[in-house]
Amino acid sequence: MFFPTQFPWAKDQSLGEHLEASGVSRRDFLEFCGQMAVLLGLTEMAAPRVAAALEGVKRPVVIWIQLQECTGCVESILRSADPSIGELILNIVSLDYSHTLMAASGTAAEAALASSMKANMGEYLLVVTGSVPLAEGGIYTTMGGRTAKDVLVEAAAGAKAVFAVGACAHWGSVQAAKPNPTGAVGVAEIIKDKPIVHLTGCPPIAETITATFVHYLTFGALPELDSDGRPLFAYGARIHDQCPRRANFDAGQYVEVFDDDAARKGWCLYKVGCKGPATFSPCPIFMWNMKTSWPIGAGHPCIGCTERNFWDTMTPFYNRLPNVAGLGIEQTADTIGAALAAGALAGVAAHAAATTVHQIRSHRKAAAAEGAHDGQD
């Protein structure tokens, strides 16, 4: 449904038949399977098995709902990898419903959603992008007059598994940043009784999503997840531990400002606020836009967009540490600490002076008392 294709994947066709019909060569398909196996952390030896499993797969029913969001995640997916494989992916993910991409609109679109959900009850895969606003009864996002929460709950009821795609679906993203005026939350806050995989990032890399689909189709299950619900094959290691600039970090070589000599040499971006040390993401490996580049590769520090609360905790984006909140004016930990330490030093000095004065006085008093005593003798 993404691109109107000449060879739509028919309902009961297996993927193998479908690919053959669409003229995808076996070689390309195996290459794709090999890439996916590697992304998933399997060995390339697993590629034939992935291929065998995928070939037999019947067309899955995928329903994609978009809640409170910017459509950036959909954009990211549309730009996945090179055209032949992209087409393949898009054909795998033949969508029964996606209100941005489908031709139908209005009542017709809603009818398509309802009928697809009914026909495939308990079988379909639900993809969700966007957060769920809960404030004031959820009025901040409505579709066809129904709140995002209602749409989500209804769609999830018949889903076999849920792909929560993007930072919005993960924890709310920018609209959930303080003070979160719409009360935005992630999918997992609402849907508790379905397997959910979080493909987080703002937006996530398309290949992450593709590989998770492939895993799901191949093994019939979601991949192994980390403590925040993200698939380990993609989010299992920090940017910082996979970064090509890590040698410069370890050597003590840092960019100080964006146009200095160090920046031209491609040194580490730590001092201009890189959040790579706090961020689990496959960016350095998968990269973006058909492996063209990625933020740090292009000389910009990582902003930590795959981590929960990153709009609050990873900002200021060009400083390493968040400001200390709640002091009226925003202050860094070090300014506050240095001010307190200076205060302590000043206090100690003043106290020492007062003590000295007191000591001198009491010595004088004692001496005077002694003198008076002497006088009496």
Partner 1 sequence: MTVPTPRHGPAPPPMADSPLFPLGARFAPPSGNYRWVEPWGAPLRVMHWVAALAILVLIVTGFYIGRPYFMTTGAPPQYLMGYIRLIHYVAAGVFVMTGLVRVYWLFAGNQFERLPALFPIRKRDWVNLVTQVKYYLMIHPERAPHYIGHNPLQQLSYTTTYVVSIVVMFTGFAMYGQAAPGGFFYTITQPLTLAVGGIQVVRLVHHLCVWWFIIFPIMHIYLVIRKEVTERGGGLSGIINGGHYIRADKQYVDE
Which residues are near partner 1 by CB under 8 A?
Answer: 226-228, 232, 236-238, 240-241, 247-254, 270-271, 275, 277-278, 280, 304, 307-310, 312-314, 320-322, 324, 333-334, 336-338, 340-341, 344-345, 347-348, 351-352, 354-355, 358-359, 362
Q: Which one-letter amino acid corresponds to residue 238?
A: R
Pair of tokens at residue 346 = 């000043």
- Pull the structure tokens for residue 12: 């009961």
Binding mask 96-125 for ligand SF4 (x = CB under 6 A): ------------------------------
203 touching ligand SF4, by CB under 6 A: yes
Q: Give the tokens for residue 46.
A: 């697993």
The least distance separating ligand SF4 from the CB of residue 168, rounded to whole angstroms, comes to: 3
How far apart (Å, rounded) are the C-alpha atoms in residues 171 and 176? 7
Closest distance to partner 1 from the beta carbon of 60 (Å): 30
Identity at 95, one-letter amino acid code: L
As measured in angstroms, the least distance from the Cβ of 26 to ligand SF4 is 35
CB of 253 to partner 1, least distance (A): 6
Q: Which option in partner 1, ligand SF4, none does residue 70 bind, with CB closer than 5 to 8 A by kind?
A: ligand SF4
Query: Which of 239, 262, 283, 303 contacts ligand SF4 by CB under 6 A?
Result: 239
User: Which residues, other chains included, contact 117 with Cβ-Cβ below 8 Å and sequence gap of 6+?
Assistant: 63, 124, 154, 155, 158
- Candidates 216, 270, 286, 311: give the one binding ligand SF4 (CB under 6 A): 270
Residues 262, 234: contact at Cβ < 8 Å? Answer: no
- Shortest approach of partner 1 to residue 180 CB, angstroms? 13
Angle at 56 between CA 230 and CA 15, to 5 degrees: 80
Give first-to-last CA distance, the chain, whole Å: 115
Partner from partner 1, ligand SF4, none binding residue 66, C-beta < 5-8 Å depending on class:
none
Is 32 exposed, middle or buried, given 0-12, 13-18 or 19+ CB atoms closer than 10 A? buried
Residue 352 is inside which H or E element, if any? helix 333-376
Query: Is residue 67 involved in binding ligand SF4 (CB under 6 A)?
Result: no
Which positions ≥6 away from 374 have C-beta within 8 Å? none
Q: Does 271 bind ligand SF4 (CB under 6 A)?
A: no
Least gap, CB of 303 to partner 1 (angstroms): 11
